[in-house]
Amino acid sequence: MVGLTPQIVKSVSLTKQEGEPILLDGNRLYFRYKVRGAHGRETEKWGFVDLTISRKTFTPVEFHEVPSWPQKVEVKVNVHEVAFGLWWIAYAGSSHRQLTQGEEYLPVRHQRDSRVIAKDRKQVTVDDFTDAATQNWSCAMDKGQSVRPSYWWGISEELMEEAKRIAKEREADLDRQVNSDWTPMRVLGPEETAFVLGIFNFDGDKKSLVTALKSWGAEIKDGEVSIDKLGFTGRIKLATTVEELIP
């Protein structure tokens, strides 16, 4: 399967249907077209022309029946989740000493009304941590000091930079895992796309088609091509698929 450079054509193959060819899958040219309905409203439809069956008619299909382009999974690791883990590690083992009020209770935003409340360190969540790390509201926790929540939480720039480094490495590891079989689909440029469309629109004899294919760089012999020139289909039969002939 290869993608095609987008372009609107007045007739997809020999169908006399205006549309926009989008991809070639073997010998099938898939395209989208518009149908005008009630009140002049346009609806987008899809269809394909099969070179070996008929170039003068097309088969309508639903969108889910159009072959889908291979999609690369976008991997994203939440930096604040990593930072939250590092933050917990930094305080691991603190039970050996008595925590001060400013250490045992931390300022968080109330979920319903955004009031600043004190929450036991053992009950805070990654969402609480993210708010404290990213928001700029002030709160007084100990001795009347009113400072940003990140101060009371001990969220330093060094901690966040380390979290970013780890998250980036984790993203790279996950990308290698989930996209190990992914390869980007080839998309033909304007000239190659025009040549593919030219095959479906071809209106000459077999010899001329073979000559044109060879000039394109395709490896093909005269005996490997037949054209239903006098019939109602205009179909072209090849020893291989159009897609496989693309240089």
pLDDT per residue as tens, the chain (247 positions): 999 999 999 999 999 999 999 999 999 999 999 998 777 788 999 999 999 999 999 999 999 999 988 889 999 999 999 999 999 998 776 655 555 555 678 888 877 777 888 888 889 999 999 999 998 887 776 666 667 889 888 899 999 999 999 999 999 999 999 999 888 899 999 999 999 999 999 988 888 898 999 998 888 888 888 888 767 898 999 989 999 999 8
The residues spanned by each domain of the chain are: 2-70+184-245, 79-178
| Inter-CA distances, 20 with 9, 13, 29, 149, 193, Å | 6, 11, 10, 55, 12
Q: Tell me, what DSSP letter sits at residue 73?
A: P
Whether the model pTM is above 0.75: no
Which candidate, 236, 28, 40, places its Cα nearest to that of 12? 28
pLDDT of residue 145: 65
What would the DSSP string read from start to end of 75-144?
P---HHHHHHHHHHHHTTTGGGSPPPHHHHEEEEE-TTT--EEEEEGGG--HHHHHHHHH----EE-STT
* Residue type, position 187, single letter: V
pLDDT of residue 218: 87
* Residue type, position 166, single letter: I
> What is the signed CA dihedral for 46, 52, 56, 57, rounded to 10 degrees?
-40
Phi/psi region, residue 149 (left: phi>0; alpha: psi -120 to 50; beta: rest), is alpha
Place of tokens 């930072």: 83
